[in-house]
Amino acid sequence: MTSPLYAGLELGGTKCICTLGTGPADVRDQRRLPTTTPAETLAALRAVLEEWGARHGRLAALGIASFGPLDLDPRSPTYGRVLASAKPGWLNVDLLGALAAGLDVPLGFDTDVNAAALAEGRWGAARGFDDYAYVTVGTGIGVGLVTGGRLVHGGSHTELGHVRVGRHPGDAWPGNCPYHGDCVEGLASGPALAARAGRPAAELGPGDPAWALAAHALGGLLHTLVFATAPRRILVGGGVATGRPAFLAAARRAMAASVAGFVDLDRLAGGSEALVAPPALGDQAGPLGAIALAADALAARSTAGAPRHARG
């Protein structure tokens, strides 16, 4: 018997990635599309799904991993929509209505960062751990949090990128988040670095002071995670953090200094370097996370009484 074939859609702030396959060792096709207007972007994603269906037959399941905030409550009248988005034009856009209507396949739906956490636990650097976090630092900052082997969901998903943290001594810059100013996202995301420095983060030299200030803020978020759920691993990925080991090391040092020995990091995770580490799947964590959502949705359908639309 052949393995079920899954389609995964990862919607990001600047690009979307469509993946067809079953996991990291079996990616049959992958397409990258720009994230522009909702109508243009969603039509392009739907066209990819229809092409795959015509070429490969009926897909086993679909996973959708998107930037948020999202309404993940199937009982809500706005289920499947984007909520309070800082991305122009995307507020209240019905993702599920545009992408999944009429497909009649099991559907997994969650945030992009939760999906990335799911993938790292299944195939990446969090394998074997029931308690871990995945932090993405890019256009925004998000956290996928797993405790007891399950993604954390309350009335909605977590938004730990918007917590406020202690400021670096002497730093009075107001931050760049349109909602909260100097939350972690407003101090350490790519747009925040660019706003503070006056040029894109990719153009900043390693010695630019903006990096140290961003690392201090990110260290505050890592401190919060340590004290909130005592994860065994915190994986830090995303376009701003990937390929910048000095930035990750500075954030790790800031976290350890802030924890100040109150939590034994050696006992928790084998030390700060083992605790805070880069993801194993790199920029494939999100796309493969969408595949993981699809696989879990298919598994959930086989469980008696399971809903068709499953959260991760």
CATH for 6-111+283-310 is 3.30.420.40
| DSSP-derived secondary structure for 105-130 | S-EEEEEHHHHHHHHHHHHSTTTT-S
Q: Say if residue 165 is exposed, middle or buried (CB neighbours under 10 Å; 0-12, 13-18, 19+).
A: buried
Q: What is the pLDDT of residues 26-44, one digit of tens each?
A: 999 999 999 999 999 999 9
- Cβ-contact 45, 97 below 8 angstroms: no
pLDDT surpassing 80 at residue 253 = yes
Which of the two residues, 3 and 11, has the higher pLDDT score?
11
Res 308: pLDDT: 46
Res 158: pLDDT: 85
Determine if residue 235 is left, alpha or beta; phi over 0 gives left, psi from -120 to 50 gives alpha, anything else beta.
beta
The pTM (predicted TM-score) of the whole model is 0.91
CA-to-CA separations, 184 to 9, 140, 174, 215, 246, in angstroms, rounded: 27, 9, 12, 10, 19
Helices and strands, counts by H and E, the chain: 10, 11
- Domain-wise residue ranges, the chain: 6-111+283-310, 125-279
pLDDT surpassing 90 at residue 155 = no
pLDDT surpassing 90 at residue 311 = no
Which of the two residues, 195 and 13, has the higher pLDDT score?
195
**Six-digit token pair at 225?**
């995670």
**Nearest partner of 273 among 238, 228, 236, 237, judged by Cα:** 236
Q: Which residue has the tokens 């992009």?
A: 112
Determine the Cα–Cα distance for residues 92 and 79; give it in Å rounded to an integer.
10
pLDDT surpassing 90 at residue 84 = no
CATH for 125-279 is 3.30.420.40
For the residues 114-139, what does the mean pLDDT come to? Answer: 96
Confidence of residue 58 (pLDDT cuts 50, 70, 90): confident
Say whether 125-279 and 6-111+283-310 share the same fold: yes
pLDDT surpassing 80 at residue 1 = no
Determine the Cα–Cα distance for residues 206 and 86; give it in Å rounded to an integer.
28
Measured N-to-C along each axis, helices 209-229 and 190-197 cross at an angle, to the nearest 10 degrees, of 150
